[in-house]
Chain A
Amino acid sequence: MIKSYKLRRNISNAIIYVILTILCLIWIMPLVWLIMTSFSGEGVVYSTNIIPSSWTLDNYIKLFTEVDPSKVNYPRWFLNTFIVACFSCVISTLSVLMVSYTFSRLRFKSRKKIINIGFILGMFPGFLTMVAIYYLLKIMGLTQNIVGLIVVYSAGAGLGFAISKGFFDTVPRALDEAATIDGATRNQIFWKIILPMSKPIVVYTILTSFTGPWADFIFAKLLLVDQVDQYTIAIGLWRMVDKNYINDYFHQFCAGSVIVAVPITALFLKMQKYYVEGVTGGAVKG
């Protein structure tokens, strides 16, 4: 009886292994193909071979050496995105942490009302107002350059306070009280007690706000219409597979994608743990 139970379990496990492996292959295949194509030495876009017939590093080298400022300028795009990501990361992280600490720890008049207003505003997908944002930035002279992008990415960040507020709520209040008795001001409590204790959520906030600008397309496209040297990676790569460019640049597009994807993937895998905590942390436990 026990033996047959074991056998049945082994068979069902074996089936699951097979299914999982097949599914994994399906999910990974496009990425593998991307990497293969980035090393492909074939000159044509739509090859008739599934696996490239010749291999080369040229696509990567060309990406950084053959720069044409009016058409494709990958190193510049990469630098732009990096600058935008750094600045908006600092501003967004600070405002998210400040707002969520205030809402979680400090008690003041009409706090609940302000939280609810923040919550409703936060549900609003920012890009629905893109017409208005575009004109606002145009009047400020911030369109067509990356400063405007930094502003757009980081300005509304404070509204994403929900996850970190949830985290701060779980840090025991007794700590604050003890510190207050010892004479600490709220400013000191924030920087010296709560922040060091909330490392996971700080890391999570930093990583999400850093990776955000690498993936955003909408605002970059809206604000940087034709300033090729101000482009970020996202619109740059989108431009490379445009009808007019794809024949010359397809393989470089693949190489460029790999270069962006590797660091972002590494960061993401690192914050996977925090991501799971973040996603499920807000849900109600049954």
Chain B
Amino acid sequence: MNFIEYVQLNPFQKFWYKLKMFFVNLPKNLGKFFKFIGMKIAAFFIGIGHAFKFYGTSFVKGDWSTKISYAIMGFGIMVKGQIIKGIVFLAVEVAYFAFMIGFAWNYLSKFLSLGGVIAPASIDPVYGTKIPEKTDDSMIIMLYSVLAIIVTILFIFLYIVNIRVNVALEERRKNGEHINTLGEDIKTLLDERYHVTLLSLPTLLICTFTVLPLIFMILIAFTNFDRDHSMGGLFDWIGFQNFADVFVSNPKKAATFQTLVGWTLCWAVIATISCYIVGVIIALMINKKGIKCKSLFRTMFVMTVAVPQFVTLLLMAQMLNDDGFFNVLLRHMGVLGEMDYIKFLTDPWIAKITVLVVNLWIGVPYTILSASGILMNIPEELYESARIDGAGPVVTFGKITLPYMLFVMTPALIQQFIGNINNFNVIYFLTGGGPTDPFLYNAGNTDLLVTWLFNLTTSYNDYSLAATIGILVFIFCATLSLITFNMTRSSKDEEAFS
């Protein structure tokens, strides 16, 4: 297909064409990708080589204060006039070594074994009572080791900065240029280097509470940290055993994993599509020409989005109870006998249908919200010209509205799909994952992977298994989002308006 043909397609066809080409080109692109990675790695090592060469020559050529800076950070900077900056560098070095020797080394040295028994179990010589054996806390060892590694990387970075600043200052002094005072340095933080000021605090927070836990969780997935190795106790590295368990080697876990993956995907597909279709239909009805009180109708639906989800869901769970509102209502209407009830939440199959229907109730208003915005954006000329060409309402819907909506909303749809895979609230508050199934490993019939993960963590202390599932879910979701992100390329024209 050449460019002219491509441009003539409607947005919808363009999208499918792109999707098709994505898979057609996949092998080629994968090849490119690995080549790219290889080149990046090569470039990385070459870069390191260059860096060593640079610091080597700087060391040989530099003056005496620069040379001392290679051992005592900040020394050269102090000598060259930036005293406070130099002191800060020196303080960093002292603090780092104090931290490593006085504190972190203790843990880092045990990182590979994750600790051992400090004192074996014994009997108290005076009272004759049993003293349980004393062991290292593997969790703490792991956490502090990761912390120590991160601190070391930061330190190396600062060390390099120290040398660079030194070399730059020396250059400036040789050429007789002006050397910034502390006040001037701080001023650049508000202007030329403002990004450093703005990003430092968020980056610190994100590194501590997003990146560190992430590394930490990946590490846990390779250990046997579970209920047999309780808190404060000892556990070991077991390599890929957890991943093997989940896929093949432990029949019960593998079966549970397969069942839950199946149900999670099934749930996500049905939930996303049903919400989308119903939502778009309602949005179309609300936005139809000649319908009055548009905003009233919209507000009515949006109300359910506004109320915090846990409130509506806990309420729904009560209403769907065996003696809850819905069963009472059905009894009043004479559909059910006085003592009969429908097991909305306790029968495996009915429960699945119930959560899907309730999710419809929760999710449709979101679609209405976003679809209304898009419907109002469709250029009116499209409809006018279609009408002039003699198209009826059905044709305009099929040929204009639907393709347009699908095209604009596809990224949002895929995001919703990912959101549904991780839809904790609906399942947890309605059924809690139940009804429990004896054939599954600590899971119920309506459990999604994420609710299983939550229960494994909070109730069953199966931490390493939970971490393994977390990683798998993340890989799946991240791949999906990256594909969407690359297909839409909204990042490309970020400067379109400015």
- Which chain A residues have a beta carbon within 8 Å of chain B's beta carbons? 9, 13, 16-17, 19-20, 23-24, 26-28, 30-31, 33-34, 45-50, 95, 98-99, 101-102, 104, 106, 108, 111, 114-115, 119-121, 123-136, 139, 151-152, 154-159, 165-166, 169-173, 185-187, 190, 211, 214-215, 217-218, 221-222, 234, 237-238, 241, 250, 253-254, 257, 260-261, 264-265, 267-269, 272, 275-277, 279-280, 282-286
Q: Is B498 an interface residue (CB 8 A)?
A: yes
Measured CB to CB, the nearest residue on chain A to B470 is: A128
Do A276 and B372 touch (CB < 8 A)? yes
Q: Which of B56-95 contact A (CB under 8 A)?
A: none
Known: A46-B323, A217-B310. A131 touches B457 (CB 8 A): yes
Residue A217 contacts which of B364, B373, B425 (CB distance < 8 angstroms)? B425
B285 touches A19 (CB 8 A): yes
Assembly CA distance A171 to B494 (angstroms): 11
Q: A132 vs B146: C-alpha distance in the bound complex, in angstroms?
A: 12
Query: CA of A277 to CA of B450 in the docked complex: distance in angstroms?
Result: 30
Within 8 A of A (CB), among B193-216: 194-195, 197-199, 201-203, 205-206, 208-214, 216
Q: Is the CB of B497 within 8 A of A170?
A: yes
Stretch among B20-28, B244-252, B405-413 lining the A interface: B405-413
Q: Which residue of B lies closest to A265 (CB)?
A: B306
Given A155-B210, A234-B310, A28 and B300 touching (CB < 8 A)?
yes
Chain B residue at minimal CB-CB distance from A234: B310
A34 to B373, CA, bound (A): 30
The winner among A222, A238, A276, A285 for most chain B CB atoms within 10 A is A276
Closest chain B CB from A247 CB (angstroms): 12
Q: Report chain B residues within 8 Å CB of A121.
A: 206, 210-211, 214
| Chain A residues whose C-beta falls within 8 Å of the C-beta of B187 in the assembled complex | 185
Select which of A33, A48, A106, A277 is within 8 A of B194 by beta carbon.
A106
CA distance A139 to B231 in the complex (A): 12
15 residue pairs A–B, Cβ–Cβ below 8 Å: A34-B315, A50-B332, A106-B195, A121-B206, A128-B453, A129-B214, A129-B217, A151-B209, A155-B209, A156-B205, A254-B315, A276-B369, A277-B373, A279-B373, A279-B412
Q: When the two chains form their complex, are residues A215 and B309 in contact, meaning their CB atoms are under 8 A apart?
A: yes
- By the criterion CB–CB under 8 Å, are A9 and B290 in contact? yes
Whether A260 touches B291, Cβ cut-off 8 Å, given contacts A170-B497, A171-B498, A237-B314, is no
Give chain A nearest CB distance to B225 CB in angstroms: 8
Q: Given A215-B310, A268-B302, does the pair A155, B205 have CB atoms closer than 8 Å?
A: yes
A20 touches B302 (CB 8 A): no
The CA of A126 and the CA of B307, in the complex, are separated in Å by: 23
Beyond A155-B206, A257-B311, A286-B407, is A169–B217 a contact (Cβ under 8 Å)?
Answer: no
User: In whole angstroms, how far apart are the Cα atoms of A154 and B202 in the complex?
Assistant: 10
Instruction: Determine how close the nearest CB of chain B comes to the CB of A243; give it in whole angstroms.
Output: 11
User: Does B311 lie within 8 Å of A30, measured CB to CB?
Assistant: no
Are A136 and B307 neighbours in the complex by a CB distance under 8 Å?
A: no
Report B-chain residues with C-beta under 8 Å of the C-beta of A23: 282, 301
Contacts of A128 in B (CB 8 A): 217, 450, 453, 470, 473-474
Q: Chain A interface: which of B122-130, B176-184, B480-488?
A: B480-488
A residues within 8 A CB of B8?
A: none
Q: Give the residue of A50, A111, A253, A268 whose beta carbon is less than 8 angstroms from that of B306.
A: A268
The 3 A-B pairs at the shortest CB distance, nearest first, are namely A158-B202, A268-B306, A132-B213
Chain A's nearest CB lies how many Å from the CB of B135? 17
Known: A280-B408, A283-B490. 18 other contacts (CB 8 A): A20-B286, A26-B361, A27-B364, A30-B319, A98-B198, A102-B199, A111-B195, A125-B473, A131-B457, A139-B143, A155-B210, A169-B495, A217-B428, A221-B458, A222-B458, A269-B299, A279-B369, A285-B408
Cβ of A248 to closest chain B Cβ, rounded Å = 14
- In the complex formed, the residue of B with least CB distance to A99 is B202
Q: CB-CB < 8 A to B314: which residues of A?
A: 237-238, 241, 253, 257
Query: Could you say which residues of chain B place their CB within 8 Å of the CB of A45?
Result: 318, 323
CB < 8 Å A-B pair total: 286
Residues of A within 8 A of B201 (CB): 95, 98
Q: What chain A residues lie within 8 Å of B370 (beta carbons)?
A: 276, 279-280
CA distance A10 to B187 in the complex (A): 69
Query: Cα distance A108–B329 when bound, in Å?
Result: 64
A260:B454 contact, CB within 8 angstroms: no
> In the complex the two chains form, is A13's CB within 8 Å of B424's CB?
no
Specify which chain B residues have a CB less than 8 angstroms from the CB of A152 in the assembled complex: 209
Q: CA separation between A129 and B473, bound complex, in Å?
A: 11
B154 at the interface (CB under 8 A from A): no
Partner of A241, one of B309, B318, B325, B404: B318
Q: With A17-B291, A127-B424 in contact, is A185–B190 under 8 Å at CB?
A: yes
Contact of B211 with A133 in the complex, beta carbons under 8 Å: no
| CB pair A135 B143 closer than 8 Å | yes
User: Among B286, B325, B429, B466, which residue has its beta carbon within 8 angstroms of that of A50?
Assistant: B325
Taking the complex as formed, is B254 at the interface, i.e. its CB lies under 8 A from any CB of chain A? no
Pick from B209, B309, B412, B457: contact of A136, CB under 8 Å: B209
Indicate if B288 sits at the interface (CB-CB under 8 A): yes
Q: In the complex the two chains form, what is the Cα distance from A99 to B199 in whole Å?
A: 6
B219 to chain A, nearest CB (A): 9
Q: Is the CB of A186 within 8 A of B191?
A: yes
Closest to B308 in A: A215
Count chain A CB atoms within 10 A of each CB in B199, B312, B361, B377 and give the residue with the most.
B199
Within 8 Å CB of A253, what residues of B? 314
Which residues of B have CB within 8 Å of A234? 308, 310
Given A30-B312, A139-B140, A280-B370: A265 touches B303 (CB 8 Å cut-off): yes
Complex CA gap A122/B466 in Å reads: 21
* Chain B contacts for A165, CB-based, 8 A: 494
Residue of A at shortest CB range from B296?
A24
List B contacts of A111 (CB < 8 A).
Answer: 195
B297 within 8 A of A: yes
